[in-house]
Structure 1
Amino acid sequence: MSDYNTTNTRLIIPGLQGLYAAVAPLTVLYMRVICGAAFMVHGFPKIMNPMGAVGMVEGLGFTPGWLWSPLLAGTEFLGGLLLVLGLLTRPAAVATSIVLCVTTYFHWVVQAEGFAGAEKSLLWLGLTLYFAAHGGGRLSLDRAWGKQF
């Protein structure tokens, strides 16, 4: 897990090193919490009705829908919760990244919206891939636990 260390960076204004070192973990925390909360917001209605997306997932070719609909609900809501907490961050980020790859395909290809339709999915995918690669950061339960996936 990266500590976002700026001590080896040659800064134009060296006096900013302390500020950057103090702010970096907070920005990572902010990104992780906002990303996870967004997934929870999208997943909450699906958790309340896990079979509600059967038609949608089958329309995308994920059959049987009775299997994929609850998996989508769990991935969005529980994956989002794990991201917010910074617990099992990497597996949660990988799972949510897969969902975002599907939504990118859905908007870009199935809906024929191109980049304009897939743009938000691509931006969120950038965040989830960051956490898949770097973990939850200094201010995460993974760090407090002392172990990471």
Structure 2
Amino acid sequence: MSNSLSQSGARPIIPALGNLWAVLEPLSWLILRVTTGILMMPHGAGKLFGMFGGYGLEGTGGYFDSIGIHPGYLFALLVGLLEFFGGAMLVLGLLTRPVAAAVVVFMTVAFFIHLPNGYAWINAGVEMPIMWGMLALSVLIRGGGRFSLDRKLGVEF
């Protein structure tokens, strides 16, 4: 068994699971990167197209204008494109680090926008910007990984 458990000297409590973890470990980064991208895409679809309960470009742009982010329409477009198409690029592992860096910047701004609302996302607090920011930071640090188009094309930014 050549996984992180065996390398740390730890024994699995249920030995049969050690073999399962060893088989699945190479897929763990792929699962995290793909899930992050897939879950970002509906947010962008809401901003761009009004899907999934979103307000579309006009509504999102108006909201951005109302909180002092000008021009709201332009920033709604940029954020929507990042979430929708950037999410798809994370799924594919294409330009992974540049996309992740843009998400980190966006989530840093979102953190400060949501900070007056406290922590809990149920009150529009900072919980989700922190989570999305940390996921993006992890992807930025690690890159696309073994199962990415970046790796297939031989480019890691």
Deviation, 1:22, is 3.8
Identical pairs, percent: 39
Aligned pair count reads: 142
Asked which structure has the greater RCO (Cα within 8 Å, sep 6+), the reply is 1
What amino acid is the match of 2:8? R
Q: Indicate the SS of the match to 1:50.
A: helix
SS at match of 2:57: coil
Stretches of structure 2 lacking an aligned partner (at least 5 in a row): 50-55
Partner residue in 1 for 2:31? 30
Q: Tell me which residue corresponds to 1:134.
A: 142
* RMSD, matched Cα: 2.5
Of 40-49 and 128-137, more deviation after overlay is shown by 40-49
When normalised by structure 2's length, the TM-score is 0.77
CA contact (8 A) 2:5 2:11 kept: no
Letter of the 1:136 counterpart? G
Q: Which has the higher Rg, Structure 1 or Structure 2?
A: 2
Is 1:69 the counterpart of 2:41? The answer is no
**1:78-126 Cα distance to aligned partner (Å, 9 max, x none):** 11111111110001111112222222222222xxx21222112211211
Contact 2:96-2:140 within 8 A present in 1 as well:
yes
Rounded Cα–Cα distance in structure 2 between residues aligned with 1:115 and 1:105? 11
Q: Is the 8 A contact 1:42 1:76 kept in 2?
A: yes
Partner of 1:114: 118
Amino acid in structure 2 at the alignment position of 1:42: H
Q: TM-score, structure 1 length as denominator? A: 0.81
Which residues of structure 1 form unaligned runs of 5+? Answer: none
- Amino acid of the residue matched to residue 69 of structure 1? A
Distance (whole Å) between structure 2 residues aligned to residue 56 and residue 102 of structure 1: 15
